[in-house]
Chains A and B, each alone.
Chain A
């Protein structure tokens, strides 16, 4: 039974609000970050399990029809192959989920804190929506806000990672200084990972 106080309309997806009853819910009040982190991974598991159940039903339907004839027609063969690929993909997902759980369970306190911040930090949807609407002049759908905040977070991550590379290369220590950030931006610009439509490139002049 989900706590209604925790249900938010289209909540921050990266925060993964707990909807389905899960083993970790009982320990919600327990202190310590390990329960919070297991929350984040368990909801991902339940969402993937839901997908797996659906595809298992598809597989069962496919198998039944195939057993009636000796040589399944090409269309049937393609469908069975596609179902096998879906199964394989779900097995790969399961492996990855298990590996992640093993990894997270072996984190130190500081690593757990950082991982929790990494998963939880997100841009406020209202501010992003306001920003986009001030640029377009018309309203935008919620999916656009979700997509844009997700991309912006990945973008911020790319810059911070590059800046940490620069910082290490220059023999400095974190916290990051503006000079690291600027050098990171310069590098990403040369790799065209930062969009820039202000400078018009004239081909022949």
Chain B
């Protein structure tokens, strides 16, 4: 079938039922199984997504993070990953760019709020 020629790594993974001891990508333990299940439900899938689909998605996410990390290491300060590099890499994708900006802004606001709260608490 055409879809199986897409990426041999996935298929070895599936044949082994996710326990792959001798397939390239299956060696790693499943890192995000629980969180990905909730995420898939949130994004529109069934309440109980198939384990194989969750595995495929986990491999894709790990590959995505790996690619982004490698790219970020090669631009800006070499060998280090910095936020500016990530923002630069994501600049063409409006959704991801907006999300990163929102997250970083929210983080700053929360930090300020916590600091103000702690100082108020310290006084009383």
Residues of A bordering B, CB below 8 Å: 2, 7, 10, 13-14, 16-17, 19-20, 47, 50-51, 114-124, 127-128, 131-132, 135-138, 140-141, 143-144, 146-148, 150-161, 163-164, 174-183, 185-186, 193-197
Contacts of A138 in B (CB 8 A): 79-80
Within B95-113, which residues are at the interface with A (CB < 8 Å)? 95-96, 99-100, 103-104, 106-107, 109-111, 113
Residues of B bordering A, CB below 8 Å: 3, 6, 10, 14, 31-32, 35-36, 38-46, 48-50, 52-53, 56-57, 60-62, 64-71, 73, 79-83, 86-87, 90, 93, 95-96, 99-100, 103-104, 106-107, 109-111, 113-114, 117
Q: Classify the secondary structure of A's interface with B.
A: helix
How many residue pairs, one in A and one in B, have C-beta atoms under 8 Å apart? 193
Q: Select from chain A the residue with minimum beta-carbon distance to B93.
A: A193
Q: A141-B82, A185-B6, A197-B70 are in contact. Are A178 and B56 (CB under 8 A)?
A: yes
Q: Select from chain B the residue with minimum beta-carbon distance to A196.
A: B67
Of the candidates A13, A128, A159, A161, which one forms a contact with B106 in the assembled complex, judged by CB atoms under 8 Å apart? A13
**Smallest beta-carbon distance A190→chain B, Å:** 12
Of the candidates B53, B65, B83, which one forms a contact with A152 in the assembled complex, judged by CB atoms under 8 Å apart? B65
Contacts of B81 in A (CB 8 A): 132, 136, 140, 144
Contacts of A7 in B (CB 8 A): 114
